[in-house]
Amino acid sequence: MNACSVRLQIFLQLQAVNKELCSKFESCLGASPSRIEILHYLLQHEEVTQSALQGEVNIDAAAVTRHLKQLEAAGTIVRYKKANDQRATWVKLEEEAKRHIQQSFHEKSQFVDETLAGFSDAELEQFLQMLSKVSENVSLVTKKQLGGENHEPNV
């Protein structure tokens, strides 16, 4: 409750909020945020390769593979290769699932709205900008490498 004060609190709060958000999200909507992100992307793109998808939603290729395998098994998507490149696998929503998801997205947006209730449009805009700013800063930190002297296992 002292020292690093506000900044540290923000850091911690960000973690906390995110965790709560994920948890409620999942329990209210029956799918993890990651999965929703994937479906959301597929809803808007018709046909896409795994690697492209993986570039958009920010998760590991391995995780994408696993999600997609499950979604395929559940009949939500189809995966296939094309003649010109046998490496890439393409992904597409099943028509039936598509409709289903669109419906379900309506409910999702309600959820999102509620978590951001009480913000004016201006505030929302500002909030988004702040988040983007942080995101940018984070990538910069990476580049600067941040003198890594002390790398013992359990600090």
Partner DNA sequence: CGTCAATGTTTGATACGTCAATAATACAGT
Partner DNA sequence: ACTGTATTATTGACGTATCAAACATTGACG
CB of 81 to a second copy, least distance (A): 23
Among 84, 86, 95, 153, binds a second copy (CB under 8 A): 153
The listed partner (a second copy, DNA, none) that binds 93, CB under 5 to 8 Å by sort, is none
Among 29, 43, 50, 108, binds DNA (CB under 7 A): 50
Given the rule CB under 8 A, which of 18-26, 47-55, 85-93 is the region that contacts a second copy?
18-26
CB of 136 to DNA, least distance (A): 19
Cβ atoms of 103 and 118 within 8 Å: the answer is no
Is residue 68 involved in binding DNA (CB under 7 A)?
yes
Q: Which of residues 105-124 bind a second copy (CB under 8 A)?
A: 107, 109-119, 121, 123-124
Which amino acid type is present at position 106? Answer: H
Q: Which helix (H) or strand (E) holds 1?
A: none
Owner of token pair 């013992």:
152
Owner of token pair 């983007």:
132
- DSSP per-residue letters across 114-127: HHTTT--HHHHHHH
Residue 104: phi, psi to the nearest 5? -60, -30
Is residue 51 involved in binding DNA (CB under 7 A)?
yes
Q: Nearer Cβ to DNA, position 13 or 70?
A: 70
Among 11, 17, 66, 127, binds DNA (CB under 7 A): 66
Collapse the DSSP code of 54 into the 3-class scheme (helix H, G, I; strand E, B; otherwise coil) and give the result.
Answer: helix
Owner of token pair 């959820």:
111
d(CA 32, CA 23): 8
* Helix axis angle, 95-115 to 33-45, nearest 10°: 120
The listed partner (DNA, a second copy, none) that binds 11, CB under 5 to 8 Å by sort, is a second copy
Q: Which residues bind DNA (CB under 7 A)?
A: 19, 23, 32-35, 49-51, 54, 58-63, 65-70, 79, 84-90
